[in-house]
């Protein structure tokens, strides 16, 4: 019997026999999923100045990475890479809107027409690796600097997700 689950990171719902291993929308691991009737909505509350600035920085990272992956999707040499890049683009776009929600600002516009990527998959995989490594490094610092429970949870989850993304390009360029 299917049930409805809810992701504590992106707050999207999921319908299935069991919770997914990874959120199909934001990539959060299964420990962030709860049956929807057990879900308790909490507000992030007042953000410290430092967390606000770090979230604004993270929002920029996610928008830039989403636009890069949409570009890489269009330039992909084969269906497998196009499928991977498109999914990465959508996950990063979900991260951007999750962060915007926490900042209580409008969901960002993600351009699908940027030409800021390379023309072949090997170079885009290399750039993907650099972008994910950079995101992880920044989010580790943002996690350490956060005092708010919800901000800590978000950066902890994002680090795990970006590490998953990093592993996709490992040994491929
Ligand atoms: Fe999610
Ligand atoms: Fe991300």
What is the CA 167 to chain-centroid distance, rounded?
15
Ligand number nearest CA of 139 is 2
Task: Give the pLDDT band of residue 22 (cuts 50, 70, 90).
Answer: very high
pLDDT at 87: 98
Length of the chain: 173
Task: Give the pLDDT band of residue 64 (cuts 50, 70, 90).
Answer: very high
Task: Give the pLDDT band of residue 116 (cuts 50, 70, 90).
Answer: confident
Q: Taking 90 as the threshold, does the pLDDT of residue 93 lie above it? A: yes
Give per-residue pLDDT as tens, 145-165.
999 999 999 999 999 999 999
Q: Does residue 115 belong to any structural domain of this protein?
A: yes
The CATH code of the domain that includes 75 is 1.20.1260.10
Q: Based on the domain organization, do 27 and 78 belong to the same domain?
A: no
Q: Based on the domain organization, do 149 and 97 belong to the same domain?
A: yes
CA nearest to 151, candidates 14, 46, 61: 46
Q: Does residue 44 belong to any structural domain of this protein?
A: no
> Which structural domain range is residue 134 located in?
49-169
**Continuous segment of H or E residues that includes residue 3:** strand 3-7
Surrounding residues of ion ligand 2, Cβ less than 5 A: 62, 92, 95
Q: Based on the domain organization, do 118 and 71 belong to the same domain?
A: yes
Distance CA 13, CA 156 (A): 20
Q: Taking 90 as the threshold, does the pLDDT of residue 35 lie above it? A: yes
């Amino acid at each position: 019997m299917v049930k409805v689950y809810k992701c504590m990171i992106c707050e999207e719902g999921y319908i299935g026999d069991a919770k997914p291993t990874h959120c199909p929308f934001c990539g959060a691991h299964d420990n962030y999923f709860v049956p929807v009737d057990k879900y308790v909505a909490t507000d992030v509350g007042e953000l410290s100045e430092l967390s606000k600035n770090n979230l604004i920085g993270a929002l920029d990272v996610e928008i830039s990475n989403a636009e890069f992956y949409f570009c890489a999707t269009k330039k992909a040499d084969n269906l497998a890479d196009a499928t991977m890049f498109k999914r990465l683009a959508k996950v990063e776009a979900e991260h951007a809107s999750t962060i915007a929600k926490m900042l209580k600002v409008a969901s960002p516009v993600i351009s699908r027409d940027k030409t800021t990527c390379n023309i072949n998959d090997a170079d885009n995989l290399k750039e993907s690796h650099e972008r994910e490594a950079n995101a992880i490094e920044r989010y580790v610092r943002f996690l350490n600097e956060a005092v708010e429970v919800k901000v800590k949870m978000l950066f902890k989850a994002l680090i795990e997700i970006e590490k998953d993304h990093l592993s996709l390009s490992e040994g491929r360029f």
